[in-house]
Amino acid sequence: MNTDFRQLLASDKRHIWHPYSAVGSDLPIYPVESAQGVRIRLADGRELIDGMSSWWCAIHGYNHPEMNAALAKQLNRMAHMMFGGLTHEPAVKLAEKLIEITPEPLQSVFFADSGSVSVEVAMKMAIQYWYASNRPHKQKFLTIRYGYHGDTFGAMSVTDPINGMHSLFADVLAQQYFVDAPTCRFGEACSNEDVAQLQHQLELHNDTIAAVIVEPIVQGAGGMRFYSADYLRRVSELCAEYNVLLILDEIATGFGRTGKLFACEHADISPDIMCIGKSLTGGYMTLAATLTTEDISRTISDGEPGVFMHGPTFMANPLACTAANTSIRLLLDSPWHATIARIEEHLLNGLQPCGELNNVKDVRVLGAIGVVEMHEPVDMKTIQPMFVDAGVWVRPFGRLVYLMPPYIINGAELDTLTAAVCEVLSAVDL
């Protein structure tokens, strides 16, 4: 590693917070020099096969020539333009495409800055909808445990307060309704008992509940749990029965990750409000969106105060919209169904041996998501360098060692990733 990077690392350690970390942390940090395809090149010359898609968003890998060209062209036109009173082609084209590919009732699009903000927007939409419908007391939210919806205050309030990462803020967050997460796994039927708690809460509190919010099929950072499509279908039916909106957080699951373009398609349902982000731009730019039905957008627009009360400075940034348009085109023009099925097969075969280890609780795979759940939290100081030494970038959290690789990854690279996971976990097996 050259001197410049050593100086950068020293400055980083003195001054910078990394996600869920401390200034001056002794956890290892690796300086990146460049990235190409599915490979991350470190400053010391080592190359790592990326198993994380930069937190699940770089579905086309890095330095993609068509993405680069589209952004360069847009950069020469305009990098940013305020969205108040103005519009531009990249935003209009993106809204049209999102309406086309998401479930049919979703007809209105609000562009946000990040996944967490899109959840905030969804929650505000739900509250403002009921306010405009002369039901101002419907301000609460109902969700399931082990969920994760972001790090801003509204999003934190619907993230699991016990098993999640936000217990420190419990006393200052809005108090929402929580029920146990479903135990019926993906591919299984759902019983009346599985939805009994949720139904009971809706019976008791439907006059104050604005919406149910859940991650469809896959609960992400709250536990990487895969649950029954039948359960999601029952949730949708109960929301309709008790006059409560359904918000689906597709930030992690959207754009093919679970084997469907959107995870709600596994249950053949449509939400009232949908949040998307992460892979929306192929990992190039931060951008998210909240989609809703014409009924909701019209009711809000026709009610008091006659506008939706949100408006980020960088809303519908032209560069980000261009990245999203290009990323979606690349995905839809590819044989993505077959690609996800191929990745799923490699993950299933490659990770299965981990199930024999003493410290492994469960191994599960769905689409381009592979999870090894441990009995105890991993020691990041020990395990992270072991993955790097094995030539892969895998970033565990808590008890979860998981893979969500870029879709362009080939079979040999996948096999290297899964073999590294098995070897590292074998080396630390109790």
Q: What is the pLDDT of residues 168-184, one digit of tens each?
A: 888 899 999 999 999 99
For residues 258 and 263, give the distance between their C-alpha atoms in angstroms, rounded to a whole number.
6
Q: What's the pLDDT score for residue 58?
A: 98
* Segments forming the whole domain that contains residue 37: 3-63+335-427
Pairing of strands 39-42, 218-219: unpaired
Instruction: Give me the pLDDT at residue 346, please.
Output: 98
Are 194 and 291 members of one domain? yes
Query: Token match 């479930």: residue?
Result: 103
Q: Can you give 171-199 as a three-state secondary structure string? A: CCCCCCEEECCCCCECCCCCCHHHHHHHH
Check pLDDT > 90 for residue 214. Answer: yes
Does residue 100 sit in the same domain as residue 192?
Answer: yes
Q: How many residues does the chain have?
A: 430
| pLDDT above 80 (res 143) | yes
What confidence tier does 385 reach under pLDDT thresholds 50, 70, 90? very high
Provide the 3-class DSSP secondary structure of residue 61.
coil
Are residues 262 and 150 part of one domain?
Answer: yes
In this structure, the answer to whether residues 8 and 156 fall within a common structural domain is no
Tell me the mean pLDDT in the region 154-177: 87
pLDDT tops 70 at residue 430: no
Q: Check which CATH number belongs to the domain holding 211 and give it.
A: 3.40.640.10
The mean of the pLDDT values for the chain is 96
Q: For residues 121 and 165, state if they share a domain.
A: yes
Residue 37 has pLDDT above 80, yes or no: yes
CATH number of the domain enclosing 19: 3.90.1150.10
Q: Answer yes or no: do 190 and 84 share one domain.
A: yes
- Domain count for the chain, please give it: 2
Check whether 164 has a pLDDT greater than 70: no
Q: Are residues 249 and 339 in the same domain?
A: no
pLDDT digits (tens, 9 = 90+) for 102-122: 999 999 999 999 999 999 999
pLDDT value at position 163? 73
Last residue of a domain, one of 281, 315, 332: 332
Question: 379 with 251, same domain?
Answer: no
Tens digits of residue pLDDT in 186-205? 999 999 999 999 999 999 99
Give the pLDDT score at 4: 85
In percent, how much of the chain has pLDDT > 90? 93
Residues classed as catalytic: 20, 148, 249, 278
Quickly state the pLDDT bin for 289 (edges 50, 70, 90): very high
pLDDT for position 77? 97
The tokens 């096969």 sit on which residue? Answer: 49
Band (5; pLDDT cuts 50, 70, 90):
confident
> What's the pLDDT band for 162 if we cut at 50, 70, 90?
confident
Q: Taking 80 as the threshold, does the pLDDT of residue 166 lie above it?
A: no
Q: Which of 332, 354, 370 is the last residue of a domain?
A: 332
Domain boundary among 332, 356, 378: 332
